Amino acid sequence: MGYVVLYRSIFDTVGELNQAEALNESDKAMRRYLRPDLLIIDDMGLKKLPKQSGEYLFEIIMRRYELRSTIMTSNRPLDEWGKLVGDVPTATAILDRFLSRADIIQISGKSYRLRDTACKIKNEHGKENSP
């Protein structure tokens, strides 16, 4: 038997939880994020999140804390998360739980997507110029 993994962008995550709350289905939607062995939340920090996003994210992190694995990707420094979430105390509580057991991997340099595109363009131009 393998592991169950759920990959979602932060925007899809908070959008689904916001919609579920409007439909009075919050518990059902939250279970979707609590059940997987590994939850991957991508793109934290691309833009400011909608209202209540911090509360949803806090509940996910709090309820998964020390029970299941969670990966979050972000292109923003951790000290900016309060602004992104729109609630500094909630962002602090999220980071407190999340970072107490986290391994932070910082990647610097050019984007792999852009690098791959540049290589393709270079290869295509090289082929056109070859005899």
CATH of the domain at 72: 3.40.50.300
Domain range spanning residue 109?
A: 5-129
Give the number of other CB atoms < 10 A from CB of residue 57: 27
Sign of the dihedral through C-alpha 85, 88, 90, 92: positive
Residue ranges in the chain whose pLDDT is less than 50: 130-131
**Number of domains composing the chain:** 1
pTM for the model: 0.80
Cα–chain-centroid distance for residue 128? Answer: 41
Contact between 64 and 32 (Cβ < 8 Å) = no
- Would you state the pLDDT for residue 58? 93
